[in-house]
Amino acid sequence: MKIHEYQAKDILRGYGIPVPRGGVAEIPEMARKIAEGMEGKPIVVKAQIHAGGRGKGGGVRMVRTPPEAEKAAKEILGMTLITHQTGPEGRLVRKVLVEEGLQIDKELYFSMLPDRASAGIVVMASEAGGMDIEEVAAKTPEKIIKVQVNPLLGLQPYHTRQLAFGLNFDGELMKSFSAMVKNLFQLFCDYDCSLLEINPLVITADKKLVALDAKINFDDNALFRHKDILAYRDLDEEDPLEVEASNYNLNYIKMDGNIGNMVNGAGLAMATMDLIKLAGAEPANFLDVGGGASAEMVENGFRIILSDPNVKGVLINIFGGILRCDVLAQGVVEAANKVGIQVPVVIRMEGTNVEKGRQILEESGLNLIVAKNLKDAAQKVATLAKG
């Protein structure tokens, strides 16, 4: 799960990490009020969306006075902000963060994330922080210092020293950096984070370290034990179909293609998407209804797929193990009757009660195409969706 920058900064504050003072506003007048509390300091107005690259997209503005902050907020609120992370459709801005603007001496990069290769946590830092970190990683990866932390042993002082030396820190900066990294690591573990990124982490003109930006992502599978984080969820930032699917415990991710597909099992779903591509078409979604799906879950999954206007054909691929083929067929027929199908639907199923399942589909009177095997199914749906 993703959260907004202002929410991430609230969490950072709780762990003693210095962040600029500020507040969040949903209307321009509120932005002016917050700016009035800054006692003549410069003011930064920042769009709050679940995507980075806001600076380059025009979503971060520096101003001098409270009326200017109000004006900047008026321009940013309601704008569709397009950044390299939002895709061409952009994201509607509903909130701005209004902060005291700081005098920046240097912008650094800092992040932590689980590293699958080493089954540990990788902590990264770079002197080349700011808005072009992707380019730094691609062209001059040696400028990014990485340390691997064994999660069972935890962060050790030598890890922090290695990072601090790489950043050319000494004296006071070294001290405050060490304390900061220790606290960030604690936060990362306490909250089962899947990403913690501070870019930029700045050294101010008076030589203080401050987290100027903050991005924290959480492992969805651990959210049941973090009710405080769940309260930060912003459904406006999520795809409406994905939100609906999550209400039914369906693993659904919307994609750009036009072949909807419903599969039981994540591995089978991946293989099905590969075969759709191999047949020359593009999947419109990933949907794993799960091994033990009920007829109701199948019905909901099918309805969600069909409510995506991009979908021009559907492939249902089920291996009936725990989910029996007759239960699947029942779910598909019920959903088809309720929603009404406007696009070709190809079904491939094998496994428990497959004969009974086929019989239910045939007797339904619905125009469902039963495929011989998986390859045949993928080719059929790709051809039908084109025509």
Q: Catalytic residues, which ones? A: 109, 197
Site for ligand GDP in 195-224 (CB under 6 A): 199-200, 212-213
- Choice between 130 and 357, CB closer to ligand GDP: 130
User: CA triplet 372, 377, 379: central angle to 5 degrees?
Assistant: 120
Q: Which of 27, 79, 92, 104 binds ligand GDP (CB under 6 A)?
A: 104
* Residues paired with 9 in a beta bridge: none
Rounded to a whole number of angstroms, the minimum distance from the CB of residue 46 to Mn ion is 10
Distance (Å, whole) CA 311 – CA 292 = 26
Nearer to ligand GDP, 197 or 326 (CB): 197
Residue 157 CB, nearest approach to Mn ion (Å): 28
Q: Which of residues 127 and 282 has its CB atom nearest to Mn ion in the complex?
A: 127
Binding site partner of 60, from Mn ion, ligand GDP, none, Cβ cut-off 5-8 A by kind: ligand GDP
CB-nearer residue toward Mn ion: 136 or 155: 136
Residue 130 contacts which entry, ligand GDP, Mn ion, none (Cβ below 5-8 A, type-dependent):
ligand GDP
Nearest approach in angstroms of CB 216 to Mn ion is 13
Q: Does 107 bind ligand GDP (CB under 6 A)?
A: yes
HEC per residue, the chain: CECCHHHHHHHHHHCCCCCCCEEEECCHHHHHHHHHCCCCCCEEEEECCCCCCHHHHCCEEEECCHHHHHHHHHHHCCCEECCCCCCCCCEECCCEEEEECCCEEEEEEEEEEEECCCCEEEEEEECCCCCCHHHHHHHCHHHEEEEEECCCCCCCHHHHHHHHHHCCCCHHHHHHHHHHHHHHHHHHHHCCEEEEEEEEEEEECCCCEEECCCEEEECHHHHHHCHHHHCCCCHHHCCHHHHHHHHCCCEEEECCCCEEEEECCHHHHHHHHHHHHHCCCCECEEEECCCCCCHHHHHHHHHHHHCCCCCCEEEEEEEECCCCHHHHHHHHHHHHHHHCCCCCEEEEEEECCHHHHHHHHHHCCCCEEECCCHHHHHHHHHHHHHC
132 or 350: whose CB is closer to ligand GDP?
132
For residues 360 and 333, give the distance between their C-alpha atoms in angstroms, rounded to a whole number. 8
Q: Is 54 in the site for ligand GDP (CB under 6 A)?
A: yes
Should residue 45 be labelled a site residue for ligand GDP when binding is judged by CB under 6 A?
A: no
Instruction: Look at residue 320 and give the partner it binds from ligand GDP, Mn ion, none, a contact being a CB closer than 5 to 8 Å depending on partner kind.
Output: none
101 contact, one of Mn ion, ligand GDP, none, CB 5-8 Å limit per kind: ligand GDP
Specify the residue, 2 or 159, whose C-beta has the smaller distance to ligand GDP. Answer: 2
Among 102, 122, 222, 339, the residue binding ligand GDP under the rule CB under 6 A is: 102
Structural contact between residues 144 and 109, judged by C-beta atoms closer than 8 angstroms: yes
Provide the mask over 188-207, with x wherever binding to Mn ion is found by CB under 5 A and - wherever it is not: -----------x--------
Q: CA-to-CA distance for 335 and 347, rounded, in angstroms?
A: 14
Give burial (CB, 10 Å; 0-12/13-18/19+) of 226. Answer: middle
Using the contact rule CB under 6 A, the part of the chain among 99-107, 155-163, 242-250, 376-384 near ligand GDP is 99-107
| CA gap 84, 256 in Å, rounded | 16
Report how many residues bind ligand GDP under the rule CB under 6 A: 18
Which of 1, 38, 60, 384 is the binder for ligand GDP (CB under 6 A)? 60
Note whether 288 binds ligand GDP by CB under 6 A.
no
Min dist. Cβ of residue 1 to ligand GDP (A): 18
Question: Is position 107 an interface residue for Mn ion (rule: CB under 5 A)?
Answer: no
Out of 107, 213, 288, 326, the residue judged to bind Mn ion by CB under 5 A: 213
Choose which of 28, 66, 130, 260 interacts with ligand GDP (CB under 6 A).
130
9, interface contact from ligand GDP, Mn ion, none, CB < 5-8 Å by kind: none
Residues within the interface to ligand GDP (CB under 6 A): 20, 44, 46, 52-55, 60, 101-102, 104, 107, 130-131, 199-200, 212-213
Residues within the interface to Mn ion (CB under 5 A): 199, 213
